[in-house]
Amino acid sequence: MGSTRKKRESTKRVNRNMLALVFLLLASSMFGAYQLYWQPKQKKEEARAALEKADRLLGQNRQQEAVDGYREATALDPSLAQAWNSLAVIEVSGQRMQEALPFFNQALDLDANFFEAQVGRAIAYEGLGRFLEAESDYKKALSLRPNFGGVHYNLGYLYQQQGLYRDAESHYQESLRLLPNLLQALANLGAVYDLLQDPGKAVATYKRALAAHPNEGPIHARLGKSYMKLQDYQRARTAYLRAIELDAVDALIYHDLGVISEQTDDLKQAEEYFNRALSANPSHADSYQKLGVVTAALGYPDQGAGYYQKAIRLDPTHATAHYNLAQHYFAQGRSADGRELMEVFAGLKEYEGRLVTLKRGVNRNPRDSQASYQLAQLHLRFGKVKEAVAVLQRTLQIDPSFQAAQRSLEEIERLSRQ
């Protein structure tokens, strides 16, 4: 009997212990499940707080602290695309375009439609000279927000830098439809019209810019240059003088004012302007050449010849300076020297003529790699290495697989090391 009672009590204790164990197991299981839910949620909240704090620090120009905050946010929540994008933007602001790309890529891997990251990566590619990637990203950004005027402006500028002037014109016009008084777009659209040899449209665009921004000296200067192309010298002079009043002074303004004074036979005034141009830029070969013409016309032909020689030293391909110096030598009876210079002049005029033809072909189809390559070869033939390199580099940015341009650049680099 006593033995039976003890057995029942033992069984009850075992059952109570089993129940307690089951309860503990259930409680432990529930607590573990709660942890699995709570920890990620807490981390996301901490990541969001770190992101917001970093944004505030960046707004206070505490950049390194902001970087630390964004890195903390990405460590807590690697899926936080905004933090990756902010890290990339900071790299771009420091002109570290290559370092920015992995951050932009991470942001876009997380969110393929992240507009700001798409634009930011385009800017980074543009800074690295990777035209095709930049063009693609700007176009993707515009597919997300077609009415974002700033991106149309950026794409227009990208095209302008590559000599794709018609494409640039289209996007500048679209940016101005959306942002009618955007000064940079108006200024660059005017420049594009000048490059397309349409100074009339350039004048209209610059006047529109000045209606909204009347005290922009550089725009008055550009307006003057366009009037010069139209041979409207009085309006050009007015525009240039206004630019000077607004402190937009450079050698080209004084040079053109000298040309205008020469056109009206005010030779002393022309002489003064050409000297001012040379004070602003002592390496301006055109002003030395013009100063030579004016000085000779004022009765000092030998001094004028000295200015022609300076122009040639600064620019050995200056055709007009060669011609004028040759005529001076003929007048002095130095026929052999004159003939030698005229031979050089003939070659330079050939270069100028072919240059006009080849540039016209490139402008008609700026994505034609072969046309651009032929233009570069013309530059090289006449010793214009800097100009050739610029054309070849633009060609490769548009067509990276064009081997002839790559070989030509490598040869130029090899020769420069000798």
- Produce one character per residue of 53-91: b if its CB has 16 or more CB atoms within 10 Å, e if not: bbbebbeeeeeeebbebbebbbebbeebbbbbbbbbbbb
Which string of DSSP letters, residue by residue, matches 246-287? TT---HHHHHHHHHHHHHTT-HHHHHHHHHHHHHH-TT-HHH
Position 152, amino acid:
H
Tokens for 24? Answer: 């503990």
Dihedrals phi, psi of 370, to nearest 5 degrees: -65, -40
Which string of DSSP letters, residue by residue, matches 392-407? HHHHHHH-TT-HHHHH
CB atoms within 10 A of CB 116: 16
The domain spans of the chain are 38-146, 365-418
Helical spans, DSSP H, in 333-367? 335-364
Per-residue pLDDT tens listing for the chain (418 residues): 444 444 444 444 444 444 443 333 334 444 444 444 445 678 888 889 989 998 899 899 999 999 999 999 999 999 999 999 999 999 999 999 999 999 999 999 999 999 999 999 999 999 999 999 999 999 999 999 999 999 999 999 999 999 999 999 999 999 999 999 999 999 999 999 999 999 999 999 999 999 999 999 999 999 999 999 999 999 999 999 999 999 998 999 999 999 999 999 999 999 999 999 999 999 999 999 999 999 999 999 999 999 999 999 999 999 999 999 999 999 999 999 999 999 999 999 999 999 999 999 998 899 999 999 999 999 999 889 999 999 999 999 999 999 999 999 999 999 888 8
The C-alpha atoms of residue 332 and residue 302 are separated, in whole angstroms, by 10
Q: Could you tell me the pTM of the whole model?
A: 0.84
Cβ–Cβ < 8 Å for 357, 388: no
Count helices and strands (H / E) in the chain: 21, 0
The C-alpha atoms of residue 155 and residue 161 are separated, in whole angstroms, by 10
What architecture is the 38-146 domain classified under in CATH? Alpha Horseshoe (1.25)
Nearest to 356 by CA among 335, 373, 334, 378: 378
